[in-house]
C-alpha cells in the first residue's frame, strides 16, 4: 500500500490508518514540483541578492547578524545539524520517531522550505525502509522548533549518528553503505529547514491523542462493567438529564454507557440503594469533559500537521522570503498540557471506582476474594492505582507556563512544549495501567453477582478476557494479572468510527 504525500488535508483518522496499514510513502507529482520550484527560486535569489537573508547566508539565533560567505554555505548547514544534535535522556520510542519522519516530510512537501528534492526523498527512503534515527527525549525548548530532537533525526542524512534498523541500533554510515547511498550534501537553508519545526511535539501529540481516544472508549466500557459489578443504577444515564446540559462529550458518554449495558439483568433488577457515589453517577459529566477536551486538542494537532513550521519561509509567487515564528510551539504546549490534565482525570475517577469495588459494599466480599483475611485479594492493586494517580497529578502540572531565556536573549520566550509532550505520554501510559486495574477488579467483582448476567456485549468481552486473565480464587501474584490485563487491552483494535464519532 502506498500513501502519496500531497496537499490533501491530513486528519487523525488518516494518520491512524497510515500507521495500522504500514503503508509506504511517495511524493505526488504536485509536491515534487513545489519542492523543486522552491529550491530553484531560492538558488536564483542567492545569486541576485547581496543582502544577508537569515539562516540562509547568516549565522543562527543570536548570531543572525554574522554574514557567511557563499563558499561556506553548505558547511554552515552541516555544522548546524551537527552542533544542535545534543539531546540526552531516554530514547524516543520508535513508533514516535517514525511519526516524526512522516510529519517532517509532509511539512517540507508544501514547497515553502527551500530544501532539495533529494533530501526529502532520502527521508522517505528512511521511512519506507524502517531506518529510524535515534532521537532523545530531552533537549527541546519547543520554541525555535524542536532543534535538538530534529537534529538527531537529520544526522543520518549526513551519514552521522545512529539509527534503529532491523531491531538493532547501528551507525548511520553503515546503513548508508548497505543501501549504496551517499551522504546528503546540504545546500543553503536546508539544515535550518530540517531543524526548525514542531515535529517532535507533533509526533508525540498525535501518538498520545490516538491513544487517549482509545482510553476514553475503554474508560466508558470499564466504567460500565464496574457499574454492573457495583449493582449501580441506570437513571443517571437517562437522556433527559443530559439533554438539559447538552455538552457533546456528556451526551456521547451517557449514550455509550446505555448501549454497553443494554439487555443486562443486573442493571434492571430492583435496587436497595437510592443513589450511587459520584465515581459512578457522574461518569457522563467527568468522562464527557475529557471527550470535549480531546476534540479541542484534535483540532489543534490537525491544524499543526497540515502546516509549515520551519523558518524562514519562501513564497515564490509573492517573491518573498520572510523570517517569522511558525516554529514556536505554544499552541501545542497548551494542548499537550490540557491533554495530560484531561486524561489524568479518567485515571482519577477510575481509581475511585476500584476503591468502591474493594470496600466490601453492596454484598461484595471485602477485597473481592473468598476468605478475606486469609486472602488479601484485591487490596493492593488499589494501592497501585492510587500511587499512579498521585504521580499523574505531579505530571499534570503545566509545562507551558514556564519559559527560560536562551540564545543570548534572542530566544527570550519558549513554550516548553517538548516537556509537555513527554509528560503527556507518561500520563496516558499511566492511565492505561489504572484502567487495566479497574478492569481486573470489575471483572472479579462481577463473578459474585452470579447467577444474574450483565449485557451480552459485556459477557462476551469477559469470556475473551478470562482466557487471558483467570478469576482469582486465592492469593497469587497479581502483578502478572495486571500485566496480562494491560497486554490484553493494548492489543484490542477499536474501529476509528467508534473512537472519533
Q: Residue 78 in contact with residue 195, Cβ under 8 Å?
A: no
Q: Residue 315 in contact with residue 112, Cβ under 8 Å?
A: yes
CA dist., res. 487 & res. 346, Å (int)? 19
Beta bridge partners of 173: none
> Looking at 41, 54, 204, 395, which residue is catalytic?
54
CA dist., res. 91 & res. 137, Å (int)? 6
User: In a 10 Å sphere around its CB, with 0-12 CB exposed, 13-18 middle and 19+ buried, how is residue 114 labelled?
Assistant: buried
- Cβ-proximal residues to 338 (8 Å cutoff; 6+ apart), any chain: 293, 296, 297
Three-state SS for 427? helix
State how far the alpha carbon of 454 is from the alpha carbons of 23, 147, 230, in Å. 40, 53, 12
Which cell goes with 38?
A: 522552491
CA dist., res. 93 & res. 187, Å (int)? 30
- Cβ-proximal residues to 235 (8 Å cutoff; 6+ apart), any chain: none
CA dist., res. 462 & res. 492, Å (int)? 13
CA dist., res. 311 & res. 324, Å (int)? 6
Q: Residue 406 in contact with residue 426, Cβ under 8 Å?
A: no
54 is catalytic: yes
Question: Treating both helix axes as pointing N-terminal to C-terminal, what angle do 283-304 and 199-229 enclose, rounded to 10 degrees?
Answer: 160
Please give the positions annotated as active site: 54
Amino acid at each position: 500500500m502506498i500513501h502519496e504525500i500531497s496537499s490533501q488535508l491530513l486528519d487523525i483518522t488518516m494518520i491512524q490508518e497510515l500507521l495500522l496499514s504500514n503503508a509506504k510513502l511517495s511524493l505526488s507529482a504536485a509536491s515534487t514540483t513545489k519542492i523543486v520550484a522552491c529550491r530553484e527560486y531560492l538558488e536564483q535569489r542567492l545569486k541576485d541578492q547581496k543582502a544577508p537573508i537569515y539562516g540562509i547566508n547568516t549565522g543562527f539565533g543570536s548570531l543572525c547578524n554574522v554574514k557567511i560567505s557563499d563558499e561556506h554555505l553548505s558547511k554552515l548547514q552541516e555544522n548546524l545539524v551537527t552542533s544542535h544534535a545534543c539531546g540526552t535522556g531516554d530514547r524516543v520510542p520508535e513508533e514516535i520517531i517514525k511519526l516524526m519522519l512522516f510529519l517532517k516530510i509532509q511539512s517540507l512537501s508544501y514547497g515553502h522550505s527551500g530544501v532539495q528534492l533529494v533530501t526529502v526523498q532520502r527521508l522517505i527512503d528512511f521511512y519506507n525502509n524502517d531506518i529510524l534515527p535515534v532521537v532523545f527525549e530531552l533537549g527541546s525548548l519547543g520554541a525555535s522548533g524542536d532543534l535538538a530532537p530534529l537534529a538527531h533525526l537529520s544526522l543520518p542524512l549526513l551519514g552521522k549518528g545512529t539509527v534503529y534498523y532491523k531491531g538493532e541500533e547501528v551507525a548511520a554510515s553503515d546503513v548508508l553503505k548497505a543501501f549504496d547511498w551517499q551522504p546528503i550534501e546540504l545546500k543553503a537553508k536546508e539544515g535550518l529547514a530540517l531543524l526548525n519545526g514542531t515535529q517532535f511535539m507533533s509526533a508525540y501529540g498525535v501518538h498520545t491523542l490516538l491513544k487517549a481516544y482509545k482510553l476514553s472508549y475503554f474508560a466508558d466500557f470499564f466504567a460500565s462493567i464496574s457499574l454492573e459489578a457495583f449493582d449501580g443504577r441506570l437513571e443517571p444515564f437517562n437522556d433527559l438529564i443530559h439533554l438539559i446540559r447538552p455538552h457533546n462529550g456528556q451526551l456521547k458518554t451517557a449514550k455509550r454507557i446505555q448501549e454497553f449495558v443494554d439487555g443486562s439483568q443486573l442493571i434492571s433488577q430492583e435496587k436497595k440503594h437510592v443513589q450511587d457515589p459520584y465515581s459512578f453517577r457522574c461518569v457522563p459529566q467527568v468522562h464527557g469533559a475529557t471527550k470535549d477536551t480531546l476534540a479541542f486538542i484534535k483540532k489543534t494537532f490537525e491544524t499543526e500537521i497540515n502546516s509549515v513550521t520551519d523558518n524562514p519561509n519562501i513564497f515564490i509567487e509573492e517573491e518573498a522570503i520572510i523570517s517569522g515564528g511558525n516554529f514556536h510551539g505554544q499552541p501545542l504546549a497548551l494542548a499537550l498540557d490540557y491533554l495530560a490534565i484531561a486524561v489524568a482525570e479518567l485515571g482519577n475517577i477510575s481509581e475511585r471506582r476500584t476503591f468502591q469495588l474493594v470496600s466490601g459494599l453492596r454484598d461484595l466480599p471485602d477485597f473481592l476474594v473468598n476468605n478475606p483475611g486469609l486472602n488479601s485479594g484485591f487490596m493492593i492493586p488499589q494501592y497501585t492505582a492510587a500511587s499512579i494517580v498521585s504521580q499523574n497529578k505531579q505530571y499534570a502540572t503545566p509545562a507551558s507556563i514556564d519559559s527560560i531565556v536562551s540564545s543570548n536573549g534572542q530566544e527570550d520566550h519558549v513554550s516548553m512544549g517538548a516537556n509537555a509532550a513527554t509528560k503527556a505520554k507518561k500520563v496516558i501510559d499511566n492511565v492505561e495501567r489504572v484502567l487495566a486495574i479497574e478492569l481486573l477488579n470489575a471483572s472479579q467483582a462481577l463473578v459474585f453477582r452470579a447467577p444474574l448476567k450483565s449485557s451480552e456485549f459485556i459477557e462476551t468481552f469477559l469470556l475473551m478476557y478470562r482466557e487471558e486473565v483467570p478469576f482469582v480464587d486465592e492469593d497469587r501474584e497479581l502483578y502478572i494479572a495486571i500485566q496480562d490485563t494491560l497486554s490484553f487491552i493494548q492489543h484490542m483494535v477499536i474501529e476509528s468510527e467508534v473512537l472519533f464519532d
